Structure 1
Amino acid sequence: MNTLIWVVLPYACLTVFVAGHVWRWRHDQFGWTTHTSQLLENRWLRLGSPLFHLGAFGVIAGHAMGLLIPASVTSALGIPEHGYHLVAVWGGAVTGFVLVVGLVLLIARRLVNGRIRRVTTTMDRVLYAFLAAMVVLGMSATIGKNLLGSGYDYRETIAVWFRGIFWFQPHTSLMTGAPLVYQLHAIGGFLFLALWPFTRLVHVWSAPLAYLRRPYVVYRRRGTPAPVPPPAPAVVRDRAFHPVGKS
């Protein structure tokens, strides 16, 4: 069971992640978009979307720093473990809180607004449910276990196991002793990667470079009539007058 969860499952999810993007690009290029609903509702989106994206960027950066950079590297750079722990915990708590606020606004927007609710697909609901579960597990580990609890040094266990996956040397024993919330968060993270290619998240791999050379689009206010072009000048021709009468 440990081999199935901590070895087979990660590789299966990574395979689906790569193959799913290839399939999506080959068979659904027109669906490779954000499917934005800004034209239907903009007030909540204008606040929730920046908060969600800023929080997501911070969370991703924190995960990359904690999982990919070994403790020996930060120690060699002169960063004390206590200082790293404070930055990681408080930085994760702040960025996680920003992410939670943005995600709550985006989910509430789709539940409250009828027009947005009608255009929400089943895959959108699955995506938001996964995001909510991942955020709850991540905040529970960051705040509940590290900030308020006794703490857990994931850099010596989970991070080593995670890096071992890419070196084809995953050590399952490092994950069996990890707290349950970290185990669930790790499993959910790989399942989330397997779900990624079939959602609107594929748009993150597309840089909008075409916008730099695209012509401007002119918008008019609602109810403003389009300007009427002036009438063309009349053409007058000389014609002979031939009265019609009885002969």
Structure 2
Amino acid sequence: MMMDALGDVLWAFLPYITIAVFILGHVYKYATDQYGWSSKSSEILDRRWLGVGSQLFHWGLLIVFLGHIIGLLVPPSITLAMGITDEEYHRIAIILGGASGLAAYVGVWILLLRRSLINRVRATSDASDFLVLALLVVVMSLGLYNTLYYDIFIHPFDYRTTIGAWVMSVLTLHANPNYMTNVPISFQLHIVSTYALFLVWPFTRLVHMWSYPIFYLKRAWILYRGQETSEVVANA
């Protein structure tokens, strides 16, 4: 009985609480602190670590995000109709998802170490900056474990007809916890840690994603020149 109640909380109530906080939190943030609607760039303090870490993290995460959209929202019947068997889909998901996930994972660790070890960057950081990076590390660690270890060395898990079906039930406002009954604990922890990330999202620097056009990743540098010296400092 207690497990049923916990399942209802985790898979029928928390999703909607998380969605409500995510949406209303962004509305509140925009209404009360539009100046905080930015990434608070620290590139002028250090750009070598940021250049590598940011590129790996953002491009890797973009591919991972698109993979999640396809995996969770596109029914298996559609990919089968396209001539992609379940085995082929699973192989592509592991190779592409694993590679992009590793890139994003290396990137987020570089960003975390940069913020922790470089004094000038650490001095301009607050607790929410470290919280976000720590949560990202947890979410990505579990995701990579599921993709590169559980699916390969333990047993391939059909998340499309379980987690994917649960996500669709949540989005259609008929959340069905039964889909999550036999989902491995590592996959469940991945989802719960994602809840935590989405709950703090509106109150951290992650809000800059909504004003972060994709061409930013390849735009030209902005050059800042000192008035008394000819030194050029590159800053994005």
Do the two structures share a fold, i.e. TM-score over 0.5?
yes
Q: 1:191, CA displacement in angstroms?
A: 2.3
Instruction: Select 2:177's aligned residue among 172, 176, 189.
Output: 172
Q: Which runs of 5+ in 2 are unaligned?
A: 1-5, 217-221, 231-236
Of the three residues 188, 191, 213, the one matched with 1:183 is: 188
Give the drift of 1:138: 0.3
Report percent identity of matched pairs: 37
Which residue number in structure 1 is paired with residue 30 of structure 2? 25
SS at the partner of 1:170? coil
Aligned CA RMSD, in angstroms, stands at 2.0
Counterparts of 2:227 and 2:158, CA distance in 1: 58
- Residue among 58, 64, 80 paired with 2:69: 64
Preserved CA contact (<8 Å) 2:166 2:180: yes
Alignment partner for residue 85 of structure 2, among 77, 80, 87? Answer: 80
Q: Which letter maps to 1:41? A: D
Structure 2 CA distance for partners of 1:207 and 1:106, relative to 1, 3 Å: closer
Greater share of helix: 2
- The aligned runs of 1:30-69 (5 Å cut-off) are 30-69=35-74
Of 5, 8, 13, which aligns to 1:3?
8
2:131 to 88, 103, 126: 126
Counterpart AA for 2:62:
F
SS at 2:57 equivalent: helix
Contact 2:166 2:179 (8 Å CA) reproduced: yes
Query: 2:128 & 2:103 partners in 1: Cα distance?
Result: 24
The CA deviation string for residues 120-165 of structure 1, in whole angstroms up to 9 with x for no partner, is 1011111011001001110110011112222111111110001110
Number of residue pairs matched by the alignment: 220
In 2, Cα distance between the equivalents of 1:150 and 1:59? 21
Q: Which one has a bigger Cα radius of gyration? A: 1
Structure 1, unpaired ranges of 5+: 212-216, 226-247
TM score, norm. by length of structure 1: 0.84
In the TM superposition, structure 1's runs of 4+ consecutive aligned residues that sit over 4 Å from their partners are none
For normalisation by structure 2, the TM-score amounts to 0.88
Q: Which residue of 2 aligns with 1:230?
A: none
* SS of corresponding position for 1:155: coil
Corresponding residue for residue 163 of structure 1: 168
